[in-house]
Each structure stands twice: as C-alpha cells, then as structure tokens.
Amino acid sequence: MTVRKVTITDVAQEAGVSVATVSLVLSGKGRISQKTADKVNATIEALGYVRNQQAAFLRDNVSNVIGLIIPDLTSPFYSEVASGISRYLETHNKIVFLTQSGNSRESFNLCLDSLISYGVDGIIVGGGSYLNQDIQQRLARHHIPVVCAARASECSGIDIIRPDNTLAAKIATEHLINNGHHQIAYFGGEGHSLTRAERIGGYCSTLIQYGLPFKTEWIIDVDNKQQHIIEKMTDFLHQYPKVSAVICHNTATALGAYLGALKIGNTISSADNYSYFNQEITLLGFDDIGSEALYDIPVSFITQPAREIGINAASRIIQRMNDSDSAPQSVLLAPGFSQLKS
C-alpha cells in the first residue's frame, strides 16, 4: 500500500489559504501576517509536509548546503573541526555535505567536483595542501566561496582559520624551561608537514631567546607508527641521555615516546614535577583530541582549539556568502596556559 506524499496544495487547502501564500511562508519572503504564517506552519507540522529542497534551490538558487572536505574522517583534530562546523551551521539552518579527500590530489579534485555539481552554497576545506590558485579561480567562476580550516596552510587570497602552531610550541618550550629543563628535544612529525615546521620554529626561537642549546640532531622526524616511534625514542635517549624533556608532535608520538622511554628504564615525570636526581624524562605534547586515553600516564598536553576552528570557519563561510567582496581574513586561534594539562 502506497502512502501519498503531502503536497503544498494539501497544506493550502487545510489551512484555508492559497498555494501562493504557503509558498511565501516556506520561502520567508513576502508580506504575510504573523497570524497567517503561524497557521500555515502549524498545518505543515500537523500534515507532516516535507519541503522540496531541490525545488527551492531551482527557484532561489540557494541550496542551504555547505560542502566540507577533510583529509581523514578518523583524524581526531578534523573530527572536532567538523563537529564545530556542523553545530554552528545547524543554528543557521544549513546542512553539511561531508567528503573525505585522503592524501591524494586526485581524490581532493573528485570531492570538489561532487560538491560543485551538487550546487553547494560554499565550501570549507580542512587542510590546505591542495588549495591552489587554479582551484580558487575555478570556484570563483562558479560563485562558490571557500574557507580554509587547517592546521597549517600556504593558501593566499582566501579566508584561513587555523591554530597558532608557532605560539603553541613557544608556550610548550617556555613551560619546560620555567620548570628547570635546559636540554629539550623535539620529536615526531614528518619533514613535509607545515604544522611541524611552524612548531619547530616556535621551539627553536624560544630556546634561542633563553640562550639554550639548539641542536638539529635533537629534532627527530618520525611517522605515526608506534613501533617506529618507540625504536627512534630508545635510540635517541641512548645517544643523548642528558636530554631531560621532549616535546612530542602529537598524541601518537607522545604515547610511543612514553613506551620507548620506559623500555630503557627511564622514569616519566610530568612537566611540573621534574627531578634532577633521577633518570627522568619529561614529555609534553600537542593534544589532537585523542589524548583522553593517555590521561593515566604522566604526559602533559597543550590543547589545540579544533572545535573553535570549525565554529569560526562556519561563521566565516556564511559571512563570505553574504559579502563576497570583503577582504580575506587570516585568523590564528591561540592556546593558552589554562589549556596545559596533565
């Protein structure tokens, strides 16, 4: 048995108004009295009428859909960014069309093609690796605004919302120095990472500011595979036993570094409880939201404002949709001392 779909004509007949009046109430346009609008909306609710979004799009050229491209759905950082975007856009009656690009330019372009063909009102890109001038010009031809919500980016000429990685590393390094550490290493991340480059910049400049040794051999790159991190950490501590603190690139690095240090007999101390008289190593990392699993071990974290990045990116894409000629903004969201936790 087929259930007939409720139509706009059904709503008009039930409410005792014209089809044109119902259409004006649905679109929010026209001079309709509040009493009539309330009556039509109550009828819509009672009958279970579902608005035809595609028809509205064809009529108004507005889809109320924002496209989102993120590199990896399983990334804690980008999951939080997506959550912030979704929560904010819901309050503005927008829907998020989420796509995953992976680490492939071809996949990124496929995501972009899908969003353009769907007719989204705007696009937020998590991670700016594949955003170049050609793509920006292509989106401009389709009159689709774009905002970049990224850990780090080389984008220019578009709105960028991202964490201040340099400041985060300065806070981490200075915190360790203020707690008595004079030989501090940086561990993790891969050489091509812009985020890593920004954090190392903050780390190095702070060491120099305090007149402490900066050695390139104390900056170790490594992927996120636990076995690789453990092996590199044990090798590093065997070679440089006087290093008392290690800044870890992310939570995966922090966990691997912790296991590697334990493997060779080190005691792990928190960033605030270092002792000069024991074989101790202090670990401090950047929290990419997955660190709840590490709360039982003495590793300190500086939290990155991932959800706030999402909220700000969503706010900016709506502003951009309403004012396409405004100058692009580059917004850095900074961690604070209150975000340091262990």
Q: How many CB atoms lie within 10 A of CB 91?
A: 8
Mean pLDDT, the chain, integer: 85
Number of helices (H), then strands (E), belonging to the chain: the values are 12, 13
pLDDT at 339 over 70: no
The share of the chain scoring above pLDDT 90, in percent, equals: 45
In this structure, what token pair is assigned to residue 75?
A: 């990334």
Residue pair 221/188 in contact by the 8 Å Cβ criterion: yes
Question: Residue 48 belongs to what H/E stretch?
Answer: none
- Residue ranges, comma separated, of all CATH 3.40.50.2300 domains in the chain are 65-163+307-333, 165-303
Cα–Cα dist 88/182, whole Å: 43
pLDDT band at 338 (very low <50, low <70, confident <90, very high): very low
pLDDT band at 2 (very low <50, low <70, confident <90, very high): very low
Query: Residue 340's pLDDT is what?
Result: 53
**What's phi and psi for 150, nearest 5 deg?**
-140, 160
pLDDT at 293 over 70: no
Q: Could you report the per-residue pLDDT of 121-162, keeping only the tens digit for each?
A: 999 999 878 888 888 888 888 889 999 998 777 777 899 999
Identify each DSSP E strand in 101-229 by its residue range: 122-126, 146-149, 159-163, 184-187, 219-220
> 165-303: what fold?
Rossmann fold (3.40.50)
CATH of domain 65-163+307-333: 3.40.50.2300
Specify the residue for token string 């005792």: 16
pLDDT at 51 over 70: no
**pTM for this entry:** 0.76
Q: Could you report the per-residue pLDDT of 92-129, keeping only the tens digit for each?
A: 989 999 999 988 899 999 999 999 888 899 999 998 78
Higher pLDDT, 57 or 150: 150
- Residue ranges, comma separated, of all CATH 1.10.260.40 domains in the chain are 8-51
Pick the CATH number of 8-51 from 3.30.70.20, 1.10.260.40, 3.40.50.2300, 1.10.645.10: 1.10.260.40
Higher pLDDT, 336 or 177: 177
Q: How many CB atoms lie within 10 A of CB 177?
A: 17
**What's phi and psi for 16, nearest 5 deg?**
75, 35
- The conformation of residue 184, written as its DSSP 8-state character, comes to E
In this structure, what token pair is assigned to residue 53?
A: 């979004």
Highest mean pLDDT: which range of 11-20, 165-174, 261-270 = 165-174
The number of residues making up the chain comes to 342
Query: Residue 276's pLDDT is what?
Result: 52
In this structure, what token pair is assigned to residue 16?
A: 């005792």
